[in-house]
């Protein structure tokens, strides 16, 4: 779909959607939202990018290998971080934990923020993959 209107509007819209998605992820522990909701929003922006600019250009920026590495990296990060928390809690080890911060600021809530970011990345990429698989049958 190579219409100039679509491309120009996409150029404006996609960054705005992404910023909103990032906002939802980063304020997940303070307000409604979180990793899953924000991840879906970012995922829709990736889908829009693919619809507007076509799969060749999308494959350059959103290559399968790169996205796969990102997803697996986030999942491993999630597993290691949460596993650390679980084991130190379960074994009653007084190991350093992420500080809770002052309530209301972005850097608060201990593990929630980093875990939300990891979830957001995974969900965004999964939504994009799902769309590609149903739309074109390949990523």
For residues 71-90, which are near other proteins according to CB under 8 A? Answer: 71-73, 75-76, 79-80, 83, 85-87, 89-90
Ramachandran category for residue 103: left, alpha or beta (phi over 0 → left; psi -120 to 50 → alpha)? beta
Q: How far is the CB of 121 from other proteins (least distance, A)?
A: 13
Give me 99's structure tokens.
């500080």
Give the count of residues interacting with other proteins (CB under 8 A). Answer: 16
Per the CB < 8 A criterion, the answer to whether 25 and 34 are in contact is: yes
Q: Which is nearer to other proteins, 58 or 118 (CB)?
A: 118
Q: How far is the CB of 66 from other proteins (least distance, A)?
A: 12
Contact pattern from residue 90 through residue 119 relative to other proteins, giving x for each residue in contact according to CB under 8 A and a dash for the rest: xx----------------------------
Per the CB < 8 A criterion, the answer to whether 97 and 138 are in contact is: no
For CA atoms 27, 28, 33, 36, give the dihedral sign.
positive
CA 61 to CA 57: how far, in whole Å?
A: 7
Q: Which residues bind other proteins (CB under 8 A)?
A: 68-69, 71-73, 75-76, 79-80, 83, 85-87, 89-91
């Amino acid at each position: 779909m190579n219409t100039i209107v679509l491309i120009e509007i996409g150029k404006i819209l996609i960054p705005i959607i992404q910023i909103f998605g990032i906002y939802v992820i980063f304020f997940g522990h303070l307000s409604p939202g979180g990793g899953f909701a924000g991840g879906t929003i970012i995922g829709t922006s990736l889908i829009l990018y693919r619809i507007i600019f076509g799969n060749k250009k999308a494959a350059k920026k959103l290559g399968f290998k790169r996205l796969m590495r990102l997803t697996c990296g986030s999942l491993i990060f999630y597993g290691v971080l949460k596993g650390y928390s679980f084991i130190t809690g379960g074994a009653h080890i007084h190991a350093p934990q992420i500080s809770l911060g002052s309530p209301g600021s972005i850097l608060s809530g201990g593990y929630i923020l980093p875990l939300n970011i990891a979830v957001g990345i995974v969900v965004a990429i999964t939504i994009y993959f799902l769309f590609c698989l149903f739309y074109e049958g390949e990523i």
